[in-house]
Structure 1
Amino acid sequence: MTGQTEVLDRGPFLHGTKAVLHVGDRLTPDYQSNYQEKRSNHIYFTATLEAAKWGAELAKGDGKERIYLVEPLGPFENDPNLTNQRFPGNPTRSYRSKEPLLIVAELSVWERHSDEMIQQMKDSLAQLTAEGKNVILD
């Protein structure tokens, strides 16, 4: 991971999910991934609202889509699943850490993608999975 001395991004940082969290809670790795049938070694976050919206909308579960303002409590690195594979240079400002994220606030108002766009993305991810191409480097 990148050390704290190298500033990748100053944020603010966001995490999209369906989990019910509260200010002061900590998000930690080693929980069931929203995108694979395994426990994740990292906690993922972003500095763009667009990426956080996708995180909330694509998360497993039937709960309310939520976006939290988070503060990384340790070193973090570019998310190689996006920066190396889909978006070179990290325009999505997507990151991951093995250290916790502190919940600072919940974004109470944001405009979600249309149901049609969300379904298209889910269909696309299902196709990648069927082709064995939806691999997350964790």
Structure 2
Amino acid sequence: MTEDTRWTPVTFENCHAIAGPFYHGTAAVLQPGDLLRPGFESNYQKGRISNHIYFTSVVASLAAQVAAALAGIEGRGHVYLVQPTGPFEDDPNVTNKRFPGNPTKSYRSRHALRIIREVEEWEEHSQDVIKRMLDGIAALRAQGRDLIED
């Protein structure tokens, strides 16, 4: 890696250096002040209880659209501006597993995220992109490889 692209892992110890803003994409309708907590069913695996809550430093439009599609909900889902209430770390499901470093700026926490507001204006991905994502998830699931490191 060059000096410009050197990646420093985000850990519970150094996460305070990541300023945000932070976003969460979901099918759920939420209000400012609501808390998103771990311990509830995953957007991506029915019946799986998530030990972490996931968020990103980029507008989570793809997460919102995929979560809505997986839930069978008409529409594009919701993107929220959120505030972590405790320490967080890089999401190991994408960091170095799927992409070198953390270019998606994806994080996870065992602490709640506070909803600040809904982000109304965001660019939707095409239905073709969403279909490819859903097909990819289905293929991994069929192979027993849709594992989430949680």
Is TM more than 0.5 here? yes
**Matched residue, 1:41:** 51
User: What is the TM-score of this pair, normalised by structure 2?
Assistant: 0.84
Alignment of 1:37-116 (within 5 A): 37-49=47-59, 52-59=60-67, 60-61=70-71, 62=73, 64=75, 65-116=77-128
Structure 1 gap ranges (5+): none
Distance 1:47 1:5 in 2: 16
**Count, aligned residues:** 136
Distance 1:4 1:58 in 2: 31
Distance 2:24 2:41 in 1: 15
Contact kept? 1:66, 1:106, Cα under 8 Å: yes
Aligned to 2:37, which of 5, 28, 43? Answer: 28
1:130, distance to aligned residue in structure 2 (A): 1.1
Distance 1:48 1:56 in 2: 12
Aligned to 1:120, which of 114, 125, 132? Answer: 132
Runs of 4+ in 1 over 4 A off after TM superposition: none
SS in structure 1 of the partner of residue 94 of structure 2: helix
CA RMSD of aligned residues (A): 1.6
Structure 2 gap ranges (5+): 1-9
Contact kept? 1:19, 1:63, Cα under 8 Å: no
**Matched residue, 2:3:** none
Larger radius of gyration: 2
Distance 1:98 1:34 in 2: 16
Aligned to 1:11, which of 16, 20, 30? Answer: 20
SS in structure 1 of the partner of residue 93 of structure 2: helix
